[in-house]
């Protein structure tokens, strides 16, 4: 069991970690970054998105719904359920359950729920900028949707199962912070 948890944590860090250029936040969230050779540019719009479905049972895997149209240009943080426990800070170690979906394909690329429904733990400082900015302030027991533009995710290099220039949609359950 301990080995399985370590493998899950390593998988999340591999999926949720960006490279140093991505983590630096060099490109602007309101402009479309220039693509790597051969990569497509995913156009974005400054838009208001509908609230995510009220899936407040954090004991079951949520369904991620990606709205039609172009993705937002900036990070979108929407609470689905506000927790009542301790609040995550930017330097926290967190334990979470999550589902990640690509905006363009509406297909899931990763989920802790699919690996035995075991939460994974990691320091926020070791994951993509979208998580580093989107998780602090969240309370234990909460469920939050993060819509992460490419410059706060994997940028134009992409990642494991993630196309270059992809906007990412996560639903994250904060199990523990500390």
Structural domains of the chain ordered from first start: 2-24+49-177 (3.10.50.40)
Residue 150 in contact with residue 165, Cβ under 8 Å?
yes
Residue 49 in contact with residue 67, Cβ under 8 Å?
yes
pTM of the model: 0.77
Q: What is the pLDDT at residue 112? A: 96
- pLDDT digits (tens), the chain, 178 positions: 333 333 333 344 444 433 333 332 222 233 333 334 344 556 888 877 778 878 878 889 999 999 999 999 999 999 999 999 999 999 999 999 999 999 999 999 999 999 988 999 999 999 999 999 999 999 999 999 999 999 999 999 999 899 999 999 999 999 999 8
Q: What is the pLDDT at residue 42? A: 65
Neighbours of 147 (CB within 10 A): 24
Cα torsion through 133, 139, 141, 143, rounded to 10: -40
């Amino acid at each position: 069991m301990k080995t399985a948890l370590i493998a899950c944590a390593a998988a999340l860090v591999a999926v949720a970690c960006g490279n140093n250029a991505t983590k630096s936040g060099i490109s602007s969230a309101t402009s479309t970054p220039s693509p790597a050779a051969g990569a497509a540019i995913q156009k974005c719009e400054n838009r208001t998105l509908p609230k995510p479905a009220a899936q407040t049972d954090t004991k079951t895997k949520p369904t991620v719904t990606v709205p039609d149209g172009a993705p937002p240009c900036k990070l979108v943080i929407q609470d689905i359920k506000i927790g009542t426990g301790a609040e995550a800070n930017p330097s926290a170690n967190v334990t979470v359950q999550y589902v990640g979906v690509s905006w363009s394909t509406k297909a899931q690329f990763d989920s802790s729920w699919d690996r035995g429904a075991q939460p994974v733990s990691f320091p926020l400082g070791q994951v993509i900028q979208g998580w580093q900015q989107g998780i602090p302030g969240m309370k234990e027991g909460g469920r939050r949707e993060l819509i992460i533009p490419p410059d706060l995710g994997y940028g134009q290099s992409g990642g494991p199962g993630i196309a270059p220039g992809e906007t990412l949609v996560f639903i994250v359950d904060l199990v523990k912070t500390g």
